Amino acid sequence: MVSSDDVRTAVGIAGNVFALCLFLSPLSTFYKIWRRKSVEEFSVFPYVATLLNCMLWLLYGLPLVRPNSILVITINGTGTAIELSYVLLYLLYSAGPKRRKAALMFAGDLAFVGATAAVVLTVFHTHKDRTRVVGILCVVFNVIMYIAPFSVMKMVIQTKSVEYMPLYLSLAAFFNGLSWTAYALIRFDIYITIPNTLGLLFTIAQLVLYAMYYKSTKRQIAERKKMNGEVALNDVVADAERRVSPAAGTDLA
């Protein structure tokens, strides 16, 4: 007979897989940065924010804070390593104000998590108190992160286009939120339940928008390609007319 702990472990492993997909999704962006040796107009904020989030959840999952949370440790330890790589690459290929801003935000992440860990482990002496303090911080920063997609969703509604809201990211986020919500409910953990339930609701909203505006997006892309093709054709025709026109004085020999 399968126990609830076995089910929770299986769901947690699935959550690790989907979360890993989300952590790896910016690889193409950083490949462009590495190839061009410049961060161009990319912002460092999403990566330092995710790094902070991962480090806080890693602290939450430590045996000294929340025992029996190995799956929280594995995915957030992996996420910390991946996001740290992104931030260091950003620092390497940025310059001037962008590098200074990125360095200050990175230092702020390290200082905040370090101070939180020091206070929690020295001032609070029970797992319950430590879990409560770190859990509240995790919930706050997770909710802030989940609010960020509202700007993209607003743009989708205004433009009636999901061109810049990739379906695979929304699906990965949906299954990630679903897995971790189920994980938290099997052995109830309010601090994992709250942010992941909110994340699940936000991603459901994204998928609804995708279903609503998928056809209009295809129409817009097709019309744009048609217009670009017509513009290019008109340019070719106009150029040919100039070349054969006596007034242009063009020698075709």
Q: Whole-model pTM?
A: 0.74
Greater confidence (29 vs 20) lies with 20
**Residue 163 near residue 221 (C-beta atoms within 8 A):** yes
DSSP 95: -
- Tell me the mean pLDDT in the region 209-228: 83
Alpha-carbon gap, residue 200 to 15, rounded angstroms? 13
Question: Among 194, 157, 176, which residue's Cα sits nearest to residue 13?
Answer: 176
Q: What is the pLDDT of residue 55?
A: 94
Does 221 score more than 90 pLDDT? no
pLDDT at position 248, please? 42
Measuring CA to CA, which residue among 122, 115, 95 is closest to residue 40?
Answer: 95
Q: Tell me, what amino acid is at 67?
A: P
For residues 144 and 16, give the distance between their C-alpha atoms in angstroms, rounded to a whole number. 21
Q: Which residue has the tokens 């609070």?
A: 124
Alpha helices (H) in 94-186, listed in sequence order: 96-123, 127-147, 150-159, 167-186
pLDDT score for 243: 52
| Alpha carbons within 13 A on the beta-carbon side of 246 | 0
Residue 131 to residue 252: CA distance in whole angstroms: 81
**Where on the phi/psi map is residue 96: left (φ > 0), alpha (ψ -120 to 50), or beta?**
left
Q: What are phi and psi of 171, to 5 degrees?
A: -65, -45
pLDDT value for 250: 39
Confidence grade of residue 89 (pLDDT, cut at 50, 70, 90)? very high
| Predicted pLDDT of residue 219 | 85
Using 50, 70 and 90 to split pLDDT, how confident is the model at 81? very high
Residue 168's nearest CA partner among 219, 203, 213, 142 is: 203
- Comparing 39-43, 51-55, 65-69, 84-88, which segment has the lowest mean pLDDT? 39-43
Q: What is the pLDDT of residues 116-138, one digit of tens each?
A: 999 999 999 899 999 999 999 99
Note the pLDDT of residue 51: 92
pLDDT bracket for residue 83 (50, 70, 90): very high
Query: 119 is written with which tokens?
Result: 């206070």
Q: What local confidence, expressed as pLDDT, does residue 62 receive? A: 92
DSSP category for residue 246: G
